[in-house]
Amino acid sequence: MACDGIPDDRGVQAATDVAEEFTHRPWHENVECQWSDAVLLLSAENDYDPEGLALMDEFSDAISACLAADFGYSIRLVSATGL
């Protein structure tokens, strides 16, 4: 997943906060979140969401919770791979 629209001055902290938020969502495993080239990137594994729709929804929830998003942002699926 990729999230565009996060202000540059909040990106690094957002990556840390979103990754921590996903520790409370153990059904997603091997979660990594990073800030790279003005994009917040999230990767995770699960065994029930082949199209990434649930992960996308939870990524949006985590961004809203962690950033109190008072700005516009958009999330897009970069890739989904079956395991």
- For 12-65, what is each residue's pLDDT tens digit? 999 999 999 999 999 999 999 999 999 999 999 999 988 899 999 999 999 988
71 inside domain: yes
Identify whether 83 is part of a domain: no
Neighbours of 14 (CB within 10 A): 21
Domain that holds residue 38: 2-76
Domains contained in the chain, number: 1
Q: What is the mean pLDDT of residues 58-78?
A: 88
> Do the domain assignments include residue 42?
yes
Per the domain annotation, does 81 fall within a domain? no
Q: Does a structural domain hold residue 82?
A: no
**How many Å apart are CA 69 and CA 83, to the nearest integer?**
33
Phi/psi zone of residue 64: left (φ > 0), alpha (ψ -120 to 50 degrees), beta? alpha
Give the containing element (helix H, strand E) for 75. strand 74-76
Q: How confident is the model at residue 72 (pLDDT cuts 50, 70, 90)?
A: confident
